[in-house]
Amino acid sequence: MKILFVGDVVGSVGRQMVIDTIPHLREEKAIDMVICNGENAAHGKGITKKIYNQLIAAGIDVITMGNHTFSKNDILLFIDEADRLVRPMNMEPTEPGQSTCVVQIGGKKIAVSNLSGEVFMNNITDSPFACMEDILEAYEDCDLHVVDLHAEATSEKIAFTYCFANQLAAVVGTHTHVQTADERIVDGCAAISDLGMCGPYNSVLGRDIDEVIARFNGEKTKYTMASGPGIFCGLIVEIDDISNRAVSVERIQIIEEA
């Protein structure tokens, strides 16, 4: 089995990169399942019902979220009905939505969980380590379990991987929008500190460059998305069908021509 993990989708450029790229990757790489972080899909912050449906239609099986989960009020109108959407378990507000969903792929029950790191993050209610223990107990009947750890600190993501490597098939980091080159397999668990983003290539994490520079120089700015060519970032993880453990990882970075 091959699972494609896709980094944070940022704005309209990121959405178009996903729509254009995923069908081709599914066919070319024989992908069985796609998991994508969509917390920045709506103009850089949050997600709407329309965009949720758009991403699912593009071939995404599960959408994970992060610290901007509730940036658009629209999400409260559909999050409890969005069975392919997961939000961080340990982030306020904790009531709406689900933090783990189980999908059937190729005869396997795959649990997909979403957690937030604690380091440099806001509105966090509990340690992702403690939450993971609870999740594993609640979903012990699943064939394999993968996690999107939405976190700032690479050290926290790496420590989390080593802590749960024997119980998880993959731990992928999201949030920084910068792809790391540390893809690895730890005791049968695929890992990468950050998948990177799908969004405008010539940008600062998806935002307009001049605007961000002005902000660093003390000016009050808006939240303008960059335009132009896009970048698509992700990780392909191959899972052994007998052991349910990761056997290979392939980092993906596709930059659109101008």
User: Which of 86, 64, 92, 45 is closest to 205 using CA atoms?
Assistant: 45
User: Which of 34, 46, 59 is closest to 9 using CA atoms?
Assistant: 46
Tell me which of 24, 43, 68, 177 is the catalytic residue.
68
Q: At what angle do helices 128-138 and 154-164 cross, to 10 degrees?
A: 30
Tokens 């910068």 correspond to: 178
Could you count the other beta carbons within 10 Å of the beta carbon of residue 258?
7
User: Which of 179, 186, 165, 163 is closest to 235 using CA atoms?
Assistant: 179
Tokens 């000016």 correspond to: 219
Measured between alpha carbons, how far is 16 from 163 in angstroms, rounded to an integer? 36
- Any catalytic annotation for residue 68? yes
Residue positions annotated with a catalytic role:
68
